[in-house]
Every structure is written in C-alpha cells, then in structure tokens.
Structure 1
Amino acid sequence: MKKIWFASFAAVLFACNNDKKETPATGAASSTSSYSVNGKTVTVYTTADSSDLRLSRTDSSLQFTDFGQPKETQVCVFVDPTKTFQTMLGIGGAITDASAETLAKLPKDKQEEIMKAYYDPVNGIGYTLARTNIHSCDFSSGSYTYIKEGDKELASFSVDHDKQYRIPMIKQAIALAGGKLTTYASPWSPPGFMKDSTHMLQGGKLKPEYYQAWGNYFAKFIKAYEKEGIPIWGVSVQNEPMAKQTWESCIYTAEEEGEFLKTSLGPILEKEGLKDKKVIIWDHNRDLIYQRVSTTLSDPEVAKYVWGIGYHWYETWTGSDMMFENLKRVAETFPDKHLLFTEGCAESFNPTRLSAWALGERYGMSMINDFNAGTVGWTDWNVLLDEIGGPNHVGNFCFAPVHGDTKTGKVHYTNSYYYIGHFSKFIKPGARRIIASSNRTDLLTTGFVNEDGKVAVVVMNKGSKSLPYNLWIGGKAVEIISKPHSIATLVF
C-alpha cells in the first residue's frame, strides 16, 4: 500500500477539474420519456489503492457504441436517467470546536489549503452542507454553555465563546463555497441545571419545567449565529437521544422527544419568526430508526413540525451490513419526510492507520447505499482533527478525512477525503438520483443527474481484482476498467 504522508494537496486540486427549492422527500420514482447518449462522452475520475490515483482523471471523451442485450457473462453497470428519485440537499461535514481550533493552530498557508480543499467547488471537493454543535460536545476542548449557570431566563445568553475559532471558520467556509453553505445545528446536552442529573455529561433527562427555556435557547442560538452572518437552515432536536455517553448527552424516549417538539420547540420557532427552520428528529443510529420514527411521527401534532430524520452509522457496522434496509423501510412508510445522514466517522484513532484503505471504503459503501435508500444529504463528522484525533475533552479520539499536525504544521489527507469527494465534487444540490444498478456484488453504484443535465455515476470496486465493465444506457455502452479497491465517478 502506498503511503502519502502529509503531502501537499495542490497537485490533486488541479488534476481534478470540475465539469462545470425545496427538497422533495423520498418516495416513488418520477419518469421522463426518454434519454439519449448520442453525442455524449464519458470522463472518468478515479481513486485507487496501491496507486497514486486520487480523484485523478483517468479517462476522457469515451464514446458510447451500440451494445444491445448484455449476456450474463458480461459485467455491467446499468443506468437509466429517465427514472428519478429524491433531490440532493448537499454533502459536507461538521465544523466543530475541535475542527476550528485545529485549523487555527496550523500555519496560514495550510489553513487556506485545507479550506479550499473542502469548500472550493472547482479546485476542491465542493462541500455544500455543514453541521455544527450548539455549545459544547465531546469534540470541544471543554464543556461550556452560552449562559451563566442557573440562568433559566437566558438573560446572559452569548455566543462569544464561538467567536474565537468556530464562527470564523464557518464564515470562511461559506465564502469559499460561493456565499451559501446549508448549515444546521445539533445540541449534545442542555445546560446541567435543566436536567434531572444536574450535569451535562453522562446522560440524564431534560426536566419538563425547562422545556420552554430550552426551546428558547434554540431560538436564541439561531438568531445569534445569523447576526454573525451564518444562516442556520435547521436544527436537530438532540444528538443521539438514546445514548448515555461519558461526554455531553441527554436521553429522550420517542414520546419525550415528540412532547418537547410539539409543546415547546416547534411553537417557539414559529413564535420567534423561525418557522422556516427545518427540524430533524432522531439523529442517532440506523438500528432503531424505524421503531423510533414510527413512534414519534404517530402523533400528527408532532409530525407537522418534522422536516426529516437524521441518522448515524455507529453500532451498525459489521463490514457488509450497515442496516440500510432500515432506511428503506422509513422511506417507504414516511414518503413525505426526508432522510439525512448527520454523522459518521472511524472511531479509536490510531496514527498507524492514517493510510488504511478501509477508512475510505466504509464511506463509499455507506454513501452509495444511503443514497440508494432515499437519503437527501450526507454529513461527515469533524472535517479536521489534530495529530491525536482531537482535541476532545473526554479522550474520545477519532479519525477525520483530514488531520493537521499542530506541532509540525503538516497535513494528511486520508483516503476518506477522496472517497467523499467522488460524491461531493460531482453531485450538487438540486441533483436528482437516477437508477444505477450493477450485476456484480463487488461493484457498488449510485447515480444522479444534476440540474445542468450532467450525469454523475459513482462506481466502487470493493474487491481485490480489476473488473472491466460496461456502462450501459439504452442499448449503448462504454467499456471502463475498475481498479481493485477503487472508486470512480463517471461524468457525461
């Protein structure tokens, strides 16, 4: 395996030239009458193990030729752009306290390099979606809130803490993304005095007598960030509401989450002129998602405030089965709601694994299956962490797609960065998912048609052998070779 240790990203940025409403919920496909590949050529971008290929253009101007009915012995990826599904909201990652603090500790030229690598739509991978935390989370240097202890009236509310690192980073990301970055926020815990445990860490529950105060806290956060020039698109009710963590956490049953939303958060957002803000429930793993959502949405007075369902990938990873079928059940049952991947990362940071190819393959497998299940947006966890997978005030160190060594100033792009880039660079907000299907288990695929008419098909080879295959559309095909343990985006 070839190791690329803290290499400059400039060469990759320029090698990968980009071919230049309201999101409908998941549901049945819509159709157009026909699609022709006549006159279209295919450009292929590839990232592959045991090679120097990183979002590299490996083929261009490939021509479709007549093919007809494939034989069972012929490997194919079948694409049908006439069948369209959900509309893409965006792809991106979380700008946490840890990400922003790490960025600030790196040399200025590396700061600029990283931000362009993520948010520049031409010379980077064009992130369009961001998540951030409402006061502290585990990926903060310490626990904090925006008010003084015991201030249930919120008279002392201030986001001054975030002005040192996080707010400047988000504003820079917005500027690099072209002035718009769909940003949503999640709380890890209410202030300790609002909980029955009296502490932000180790779970506990929000006391009913503080429902209104906590709902007002959301509104104040949104208004404070927007005053700083950061539009907040939406909020989730609670990060991981069924996990008692050593870090900031708070437990809600499905009924309690619904009660807080319908009696406090939903009405308060309306009252404060924030009715347009999207509300996301669950924000936890795929394993319990159907039970949780079906319970919460059974109350129409709750459901009316819910835009969609957030989910993570923890506790569901077994190598091949990440419970994607659970997402499909939710999409089938609640076609008027939206699925949004809100967090995922490789846990248990180990610097010797920074070049492990499995890091990126987990992202590729998840993103392809999530989109095919109806997901409208995908948000990685921390966009940047330091040389030990932090900072983190409880030792919960993890991997990020990019790590910056705050001691040496060097930057390392893991292959996760490139795997995500195969989606975020070529599939833009407003794109519609189309049919993309493979006849070999080692080839995973999904496809989208962008608003400008360009189609992007992602093909991931999770096997250890090279696989020549035919990209087949309407009786015509292009032959492409998929390298072992690779991911490619085909653009036409």
Structure 2
Amino acid sequence: IVGFGGAFTDAAAINILSLKPQLSQQIINDYYSQNGLSYTMGRIPIAGSDFSTRGYSYDDIDDEEEEDLELKKFNLTAEDLHYKIPLLKMAINVRPHLQLFGSPWSAPAWMKDNHNLTGKGGIKGVAGGPYYKAWAQYFVKFLDAYKENGVEILSAQYVSGIGFHWYLNAMSPPTDLDKTYEEFPNVFLLSTEACEGSNPFQEDKVSLGNWDRAETYAYDIITDLLHYTTGWIDWNLALDVKGGPNWAKNFVDAPIIINSTAEEYYKQPMYYSLAHFTKFLAPDSQRINATESGAQILDTIIFETPDNATVLIALNRLNDDIPLNIIDPNLGTFKTTVPSHSIQTYVWYL
C-alpha cells in the first residue's frame, strides 16, 4: 500500500474554508488525523479543473495568436494563494509527512492544437518539440512555486507510477490492471480519481445518506487492490449541497457535503466505507493470498500490516446474510456472519 487520500480541488477548498475556522479544521481532522480517516496522501489539481469557479491555467493568454514558450507569464492564482495552499498547510500540520502529487486538468490553451482548455485537443507538435518542452517546464514551475509557498510535492525524474480513474469501468475490466502490471512491474499503480453522481443518468448528484454509493466505493477499492493497485485517491474532499461549485456543471457527490448557510457539514456513508480501508491499511501493508472454499459470494481482501496485524475486509453486496469462517492455522477458526449489504473489517495479531 502506498496510501489513501483525496483531492484538494478549488471547490473543496472554497467549501471547507467557507465555514468557521473551527469547523474547517474539524473537516481536515476528519480526513487526516488519527481520529479521522488517517489519510496519508493528497492530490492537487495543477491550476483549475471543472471543480473551479472558472476555467484557467497558470499561463493564460487572451490573444489566440500569441504564445509564451518561455512561460514568462506563469503565475499561481488567487485560488492557490487563498484556498488550496492554506488548506494544504492545515492538512500538513495534522499529517506532517503527507504525500502530495499534482495532476493537470488541461495545459494552457495556446499549447494545445484545439486552442481550448476543454475538448480533445493535445499538446502541439511531437514529443521533444518546443511545446512539449514548455509543458514539462510548466510542471517544474508549479513544483517550485508551491515549494516557495511552503508545500512540497512528490516528484521524480522518471515515471515511477501510473494513475487511473474509475470512470467507464464497465468498458475497461480490472484485468487491464493486471496487464499493465505485467508490462511495467517496477511501476506502482494508483487509482487517482473516483466519485459518485458522475453518471449523466443519475438525477441526484448529491444523495444524502445513500448507502448504495458507500457499497460501490468499497467494491471498487477491493477490486482495484486485488489487481495490483497500491492506493486509492478520492476526488473532491468536500462539495456543497448541489455538488459544486463546478463551472462546467458536472456536479457530483462527495464523502463530505457542506451546507455553509447552516454552518454545518454532513459525513456521507461513503466516508464510513472509506474508513474500513484507510484506518486499517497503513502504508507498506502487503496484500496476501488466501484460500477460499465454498461459494465465493463475498468480496474479500487480506493484508498484513507493518505492525504485524492481519486485516480481512469483507463486503456483502447481497440481500442475504452470509456466514463466514476465518481459519488461521496459527490461531484457529473464527466463525461470524456478514450481514446483507454491509462491510466488515476483522483484525488479529499473532
């Protein structure tokens, strides 16, 4: 396990910091403290994303004919200085060794062949060309700018990990992760974005108290971890009651929903589903194989943790209670029942 975490989007920071300081701090504690989810990772969008109040990059130019290959106009924005960086510092204060990584939603429009922050445009030219070199330098400037503002982000000279999202899973089975691992065994796999409510056919973008969504989270995490994935990063840490703000109107759900008018926030069932993994699978935990007998109708996964604990997580997505016998040759047998539509975590030590 590399770690678990969430994304410090503009929307998340705007919502969390809209509350009184005590409540803002409490949300960070709910995610990053030992009394909360014990998150150890965080994702930072490089410039804006759809979960911003506007579309932007760090080097925007109004004139479509103009370019800035030397990135002389590169600057952080008010969103970084007033929202994301202050919130990140709150998290770092709670979790001093927080591992952070950045990922862009888009390159500046002038770098792209469609001259737009959105759409299917790619970087102009070919790899190694002037636009790709400017794009690489854009990342370096982002890392340097955040470091100057007291936030250090994970970086490497060469590719050390591969990130993927959970969208369109039905079109991309988990065996694709196995193939990727077999092709690149020295590179870690990390699920870097997930959220409920993103399906255009889901009318309720935010669904308070929805346990089906908690079940979907748990199933996706178990499935990913069974296929060489080393961690799982949720999307927005928090959103408002409409699932925003989002300038593109792509409203979705989040584990914490904030009602700034009432000065309160709500922990969704997804939050508690995440806890079964984030609280018990510390970094460097190692997945182990187990022999299953009988009808394999539970979704299960087993890890050994750095403190020599064995952790079994069992998810029952069926309408019936399912009996479970856990047999450890060193300790004996433990018999239990996993209730219908529930998730259970069992921990034992030698």
Q: Report the TM-score when normalising by structure 2.
A: 0.90
Q: Which stretches in structure 2 are left out of the alignment for 5+ residues?
A: 62-66
Give 3-state SS (helix, strand or coil) of 1:353's partner.
coil
Once residues 378 and 197 of structure 1 are traced to their aligned partners in structure 2, the CA distance between those partners, rounded to angstroms, is: 32
> Is contact 1:446–1:458 with CA below 8 Å preserved after alignment?
yes
Once residues 184 and 107 of structure 1 are traced to their aligned partners in structure 2, the CA distance between those partners, rounded to angstroms, is: 28
Which digits, 9 at most, give the CA deviation of each residue in 1:208-259, with x for residues without a partner?
231111111100101111222222114xxxxxxxxxxxxxxxxxxxxxxxxx
Structure 1 counterpart of 2:162: 309
Structure 2 counterpart of 1:344: 194
- Per-residue deviation at 1:160? 4.0
Which range moves more in the overlay, 480-489 or 147-156? 147-156
Which digits, 9 at most, give the CA deviation of each residue in 1:314-345, with x for residues without a partner?
11249xxx711221222233222221111111
> Is contact 2:257–2:265 with CA below 8 Å preserved after alignment?
yes
Once residues 185 and 115 of structure 2 are traced to their aligned partners in structure 1, the CA distance between those partners, rounded to angstroms, is: 39
For residue 144 of structure 2, the aligned residue among 216, 219, 223 is 223
- Per-residue deviation at 1:129? 1.3
- Per-residue deviation at 1:128? 0.7
- Per-residue deviation at 1:438? 4.3
Instruction: Give the counterpart letter for 2:82 in structure 1.
Output: Q
Structure 2 counterpart of 1:98: 11
Q: Mark the CA change 1:147 to 1:399 in structure 2 (over 3 Å): closer, same or farther.
A: same
Structure 2 counterpart of 1:42: none
Structure 1 counterpart of 2:55: 143
Written as runs of structure 1 = structure 2, the 5 A alignment for 1:281-320 is 305-317=158-170
> Is contact 1:384–1:402 with CA below 8 Å preserved after alignment?
yes
Once residues 284 and 304 of structure 2 are traced to their aligned partners in structure 1, the CA distance between those partners, rounded to angstroms, is: 9
- Per-residue deviation at 1:156? 2.8
> Is contact 1:349–1:397 with CA below 8 Å preserved after alignment?
no
Q: Which stretches in structure 1 are left out of the alignment for 5+ residues?
A: 1-87, 235-273, 276-304
Once residues 216 and 291 of structure 2 are traced to their aligned partners in structure 1, the CA distance between those partners, rounded to angstroms, is: 19
Once residues 436 and 333 of structure 1 are traced to their aligned partners in structure 2, the CA distance between those partners, rounded to angstroms, is: 25
Give 3-state SS (helix, strand or coil) of 2:176's partner.
helix
Which digits, 9 at most, give the CA deviation of each residue in 1:74-99, with x for residues without a partner?
xxxxxxxxxxxxxx110111111110
Written as runs of structure 1 = structure 2, the 5 A alignment for 1:172-211 is 172-177=90-95, 179-208=96-125, 209-211=130-132
Q: Mark the CA change 1:437 to 1:395 in structure 2 (over 3 Å): closer, same or farther.
A: farther
Structure 2 counterpart of 1:471: 326
> Is contact 1:349–1:399 with CA below 8 Å preserved after alignment?
no
- Per-residue deviation at 1:488? 1.4
Once residues 489 and 462 of structure 1 are traced to their aligned partners in structure 2, the CA distance between those partners, rounded to angstroms, is: 15
Instruction: Give the counterpart letter for 1:158 in structure 2.
Output: N
Once residues 190 and 220 of structure 1 are traced to their aligned partners in structure 2, the CA distance between those partners, rounded to angstroms, is: 13
Once residues 423 and 108 of structure 1 are traced to their aligned partners in structure 2, the CA distance between those partners, rounded to angstroms, is: 28
Written as runs of structure 1 = structure 2, the 5 A alignment for 1:246-395 is 275=157, 305-317=158-170, 323-346=173-196, 347=198, 348=202, 350=204, 353-395=207-249
Once residues 285 and 45 of structure 2 are traced to their aligned partners in structure 1, the CA distance between those partners, rounded to angstroms, is: 27
Once residues 196 and 107 of structure 1 are traced to their aligned partners in structure 2, the CA distance between those partners, rounded to angstroms, is: 44
Structure 2 counterpart of 1:167: 85
Written as runs of structure 1 = structure 2, the 5 A alignment for 1:33-48 is none
Q: Mark the CA change 1:419 to 1:344 in structure 2 (over 3 Å): closer, same or farther.
A: same
Once residues 437 and 486 of structure 1 are traced to their aligned partners in structure 2, the CA distance between those partners, rounded to angstroms, is: 22
Once residues 203 and 32 of structure 2 are traced to their aligned partners in structure 1, the CA distance between those partners, rounded to angstroms, is: 25
Structure 1 counterpart of 2:270: 416
Structure 1 counterpart of 2:64: none
- Per-residue deviation at 1:199? 1.5
> Is contact 1:438–1:445 with CA below 8 Å preserved after alignment?
no
Higher RCO (CA < 8 A, seq sep 6+): 1
Instruction: Give the counterpart letter for 1:187 in structure 2.
Output: P
Q: Does 1:488 align with 2:344?
A: yes
Q: Mark the CA change 1:389 to 1:131 in structure 2 (over 3 Å): closer, same or farther.
A: same
- Per-residue deviation at 1:158? 2.2
Once residues 205 and 132 of structure 2 are traced to their aligned partners in structure 1, the CA distance between those partners, rounded to angstroms, is: 43
> Is contact 1:469–1:479 with CA below 8 Å preserved after alignment?
yes
Once residues 463 and 437 of structure 1 are traced to their aligned partners in structure 2, the CA distance between those partners, rounded to angstroms, is: 22
Give 3-state SS (helix, strand or coil) of 2:239's partner.
coil
- Per-residue deviation at 1:117? 0.8
% identical equivalent positions: 36
Structure 2 counterpart of 1:117: 30
Q: CA RMSD in A?
A: 1.8
Instruction: Give the counterpart letter for 2:120 in structure 1.
Output: G
Instruction: Give the counterpart letter for 2:296 in structure 1.
Output: T
Which digits, 9 at most, give the CA deviation of each residue in 1:20-74, with x for residues without a partner?
xxxxxxxxxxxxxxxxxxxxxxxxxxxxxxxxxxxxxxxxxxxxxxxxxxxxxxx
Larger Rg: 1
